Amino acid sequence: MAPVESRAIVLRSYKLGETSKLVVCYTREYGKLRLVAKGGRKGGGRFGAALEPLMVSRVVFYLKEGRGLSLLSGAEIEREFPSMRRDVVRMAYGSAVLELVDRLVHERECDRGLFDCMERSLAEVEQADEEQLDDVLWRFELNLAAALGYSPELSVCVQCGSADGRLAGFSSTLGGLVCARCAASGSGVALTTVSIAEVLRLIAADVRSGSTSGVGVRLTRAERDDVTRVLHEFLEEQGGHRLRIKSMDFLAQIRRLDGAGTKTGQDNG
């Protein structure tokens, strides 16, 4: 069997035996794969840091037919994101990208566009201003939904089809925005403010155009939490299972602590 090669982003890894590890990665040419890295746990081994998450590496491996484990024979780093790895918040946003792909994408389903989107999103997390990091993750979530074939309906009410009424709710089950009347009747969950619907449409417009300018709308923390919740619940519903994204839980905890700190400061003032 001749070896093959591809660019790859490591999603996670496990211990395997005394010295090896099992690496789950998303490759540009072959989709999500499980690769056995013999000796991969040895300090200063031949793979070095190329099998660490948040690296873009070129891997060489013996591709096994079906969905079995493939044997890794070589790996070298092609692109690093040093600022992300030094910043715990940026690292959490980058890790969320990896976790979402790991939870939602099936093995051996190749999508070069999704790989490129992952790499581009990691680069944006590395470079974006901190207040734009939510925008980066939101764009990635909509890009991922599109790659999986279930983009949300954001132009008309997904329940009644009306384009005239105020879109004031979101239904994860139906897969899109709902008007105020349908939201009041129990179809979907009401949004914190009506402007959230416009924000979702702005994010979708950025995804279609390839823009990275962000939503351009000042949002409160509650409104940002609303957008994050809506997109997460939509991906859970359409993906068909609960998404336990540890990095997103970590970010939510940081926001709660920041909120508590701000409130304490206001009370003391």
Question: Side by side, which strands form the sheet with 189-190?
Answer: 176-179, 167-171, 189-190
DSSP state of 171: E
pLDDT tens by residue, 156-213: 999 999 887 688 899 999 999 999 888 888 878 878 777 888 899 999 999 999 888 7
Contact residues for 14 (Cβ-Cβ < 8 A; gap 6+):
21, 22
The Cα diameter of the chain in Å comes to 71
pLDDT score recorded for residue 264:
46
0.75 cut: is pTM over it?
yes
DSSP string covering 44-80: T-TTGGGGSTT-EEEEEEEPPSTTS-EEEEEEEEEE-
Which structural domains are found in the chain, ordered by start?
Answer: 4-80 (2.40.50.140), 88-258 (1.20.1440.120)
Residue whose pair of structure tokens reads 């008309």 in the numeric block: 156
* Mean pLDDT value across residues 224-245: 92
pLDDT tens by residue, 55-86: 999 999 999 887 789 999 999 999 999 999 99
pLDDT score recorded for residue 216:
74
pLDDT score recorded for residue 163:
82
pLDDT score recorded for residue 260:
58
Among 221, 66, 210, which Cα is nearest to 146's? 210
158 and 178 in contact (C-beta within 8 Å)? yes
Cα 111 from Cα 113, distance rounded (Å): 5
pLDDT score recorded for residue 185:
86
* Mean pLDDT value across residues 105-113: 95
Cα 113 from Cα 132, distance rounded (Å): 23
Mean pLDDT across the chain, nearest whole number?
89
pLDDT score recorded for residue 248:
94
193: Cα within 13 Å, side-chain hemisphere: 12
Residue 268's pLDDT band (boundaries 50, 70, 90)?
low
pLDDT tens by residue, 16-42: 888 889 999 999 999 999 999 998 776
How open is the CA angle 255-256-261, to the nearest 5 degrees? 95
DSSP string covering 212-246: -S-------HHHHHHHHHHHHHHHHHHHTS----H
What number of other Cβ atoms are within 10 A of residue 145's Cβ?
22
